[in-house]
Structure 1
Amino acid sequence: MQVARNLLGKGYEKEGQLDKAIELYEANVNEGFEGNFPYDRLCIIYNKMNRYADVKRVLERAVYIFENAIYKDRGDKQSKLDKFRKQLEKANENIT
């Protein structure tokens, strides 16, 4: 279901229907999706919309998921966690 939402959201983005894409990506973020796709896409969309508080919220959720929900032996866990932490640090600088 979550992967299908991501694919549908990607299609909505291509059609310029960002509100529909956001809704689908947000559902996956709220459910703790264990991949980077919806977090990355929402950050891109929200940055373009100057919705920096939303960028920060999504990145905080991504860091939480990759710290707590992703199993420790997953090969890409640390690199993605580091990326999200760096983006969150930058987002915090932009908000303050």
Structure 2
Amino acid sequence: MEPINTEIIAKQLAGCHAAIKILDEHGSDQAPAVKKFIKKVQLCPDSTHIRLYFDDFYFLAVPLASESTLTETEWTAHDQESGLTYKVTL
């Protein structure tokens, strides 16, 4: 796993339909996967999180301190502090 690279994530995910799932530290679902269109990807104003925007208002924020893995079909980010894992499957 590597630190989050905002530019690479934005190129891969922006403009795509994806299934988004959040897992707890035991690998259990915190909520069911939701299918969303990712309109844009950008840093939050204080540069602590990467935001995946679903429209001009709603977004999912993932801590930049998370370790991430990116493949052609999935982006996974694990936040050690919260124990949460974010999975975005294209």
Name the TM-score class by shorter chain. under 0.3
TM-score by length of 2: 0.23
Structure that is richer in strand per residue: 2
Structure that is richer in helix per residue: 1
Higher Cα Rg, which structure = 1
